Structure 1
């Protein structure tokens, strides 16, 4: 009898172990299988949250089919205690394992709301944006011009919520003075910047910052980024250029940056300046005259006068026979690369063509004809009602 009972108990135990093993294998397959999510979602993990709350949110949003399996899987992989607060983009059909990795990996949030401080050439703006998970594109919620507009209520609410990312975005061609003025006005940063960085030394780009970020440290990041860009472009430069140092290349790049916003013609503009430098022809570019007047402190806001074109300043390339002594703005990567690898052309002239780009010419006669066309376009536009 006892043998029969022992035999039955062993059999029962084997069955239980077999079922338990099958259950574990099934749970593992569920944990690693593609999830039910048909559209991406933005999952917010508040500070102080836990895997139990996260699992309930995921179930409610249709990202996981079983919250218990999600929690057990996270615990089994020793990730339960590694949960990071933030807002995370959960892609379609993400497995529970993938979601666990996303919310425990840390680093910058990948979705949600962000405030972007845009430092532009003519104006600076503050923009509130939110990521649309369905398109993975940021959508503007509100914006304003500092010093001109009232701060929108939506932006104030986002600042007070504590659940928002911050970003500083520098446009190509901004001056160092404009950058410092804008950074000193950002209320979530600390440490006033009193010294203007060298013109051209800041890399135009988008920089993520945190609340309480130090302004001087951000300036240093921008400078390091520009040094890396310039060094890489200098290492790949064309041969026999009339610029002999990385500093001269940066000056030339700033002229290219201020002369055109059309990406496709940067290397053509560069070729004009390079050809002129090789032939000893004055560069005669208006942005250098403007910089001699403003020193990069704001926008001139009007056309240049003939007396200003003739006035001697260190930057006026209608007067000086070479490159100005410093950059006249902070050029972006594309302009730096164009300066060091220009197109091979015979162009020595260019003028606006009315489309936002320029008409290029080899001879003065061709250039004069292009200028006449541009003046006719200007005259026609002047007749149009505002």
Structure 2
């Protein structure tokens, strides 16, 4: 009997020691070859395969022991595919928790309101751990990849911050931004004013892009849109500098001259009436709403005051007086951009 008791006590001690060792192991940081390790789990991977992937990533752990932990936890079938990042604090317990939650290693890229598509592509090319599948593709080819053949890329992507898993395709980010703009534009167009001069949502997108580029202060956005809506109603050229600059492309050197205003391009709203053929930038939500529901105003002109705001005028005489007043700022050392104006015919460009 004494021998049996001793045997039971020994077995119990061994079990306690094994349990203590397992508890200790579960809470010990896994040995990593570097401060951080990338781990990619493909869809359909088995728990045993996941354990092997961890070891293959450079983590110094016996994959058989790790797989046994996955099995005993009862969560082995809940592991999610994805891209993960392990650091020096990762333990077997926290690793499984990360894999079950799908807590992927995400990066982010921000597309800024007012950017053109060239700037969007530059931002995507510089984004960390984003696969450059669009590299070498023309803009039209990118739109074909996004199932929008024949649709100009300019202005079709919603400016926002987009997160993505490491190794994701830049096309996936563009697809999300495209769908986001579709949704925002549809919502804005549904709220259009009954007397809007715009014929469809595409025209709203074009006008919103101009409003985005012309607005120095958010509180003026509705009035800027109102000026352009008034001009469209009476067939008056929009005469807005950002469209001219967009049409010049790489030829624009930072200074807009009178000859530039007189040089015809499809986007020159001094030489052509109506809206340009495409957007000139990415408008944000506020610009979209301003384009379809502009502030009620009799103004046909506006000039920058130099503090980010604009002065709005219903007549050419009043506008010219405002131009004279605010152009005096040049003599006080303000940069030309501070007094850039919506120029009526016959006014002088730099």
Number of equivalences: 242
- The 2-side partners of 1:317 and 1:187 are apart by 38
Residue aligning to 2:323: 371
CA contact (8 A) 2:109 2:123 kept: no
Q: Does the residue aligned with 2:163 lie in a helix, a strand or coil?
A: strand
The offset of 1:175, in angstroms, is: 0.7
CA contact (8 A) 2:225 2:290 kept: yes
Residue aligning to 1:156: none
- The 2-side partners of 1:165 and 1:200 are apart by 26
Residue aligning to 2:55: none
Residue aligning to 2:296: 344
Residues 1:195 and 2:146 aligned together: no
Residue aligning to 2:225: 270
Residue aligning to 2:119: 178
The offset of 1:280, in angstroms, is: 1.1
Residues 1:248 and 2:203 aligned together: yes
Residue aligning to 1:354: 306
TM-score norm. by structure 2 comes to: 0.63
Change (3 A) 1:301 1:52: same
Structure 1 stretches of at least 4 aligned residues deviating more than 2 Å after TM superposition: 49-54, 78-87, 102-109, 184-187
CA contact (8 A) 2:205 2:288 kept: yes
CA deviation vs aligned residue, 1:328-351 (integer Å, no higher than 9, x gap): 111111101110111011111001
Change (3 A) 1:300 1:107: farther
Residues 1:328 and 2:323 aligned together: no
Change (3 A) 1:356 1:107: farther
TM-score norm. by structure 1 comes to: 0.57
CA deviation vs aligned residue, 1:305-327 (integer Å, no higher than 9, x gap): 11110111101001101111111
- The 2-side partners of 1:376 and 1:275 are apart by 28
The offset of 1:369, in angstroms, is: 1.4
- The 1-side partners of 2:125 and 2:99 are apart by 34
- The 2-side partners of 1:86 and 1:187 are apart by 14
Residue aligning to 1:380: 332
CA contact (8 A) 1:184 1:192 kept: no
Residue aligning to 1:319: 271
CA contact (8 A) 1:283 1:317 kept: yes
Change (3 A) 1:107 1:373: farther
Change (3 A) 1:52 1:321: same
RMSD over aligned CA atoms reads: 2.9
Change (3 A) 1:86 1:252: same
- The 2-side partners of 1:50 and 1:379 are apart by 74
Higher RCO, Cα 8 Å, sep 6+: 2
- The 2-side partners of 1:309 and 1:233 are apart by 32
**Where does structure 2 lack aligned partners over 5 or more consecutive residues?**
1-23, 30-72, 87-96, 144-152, 336-350
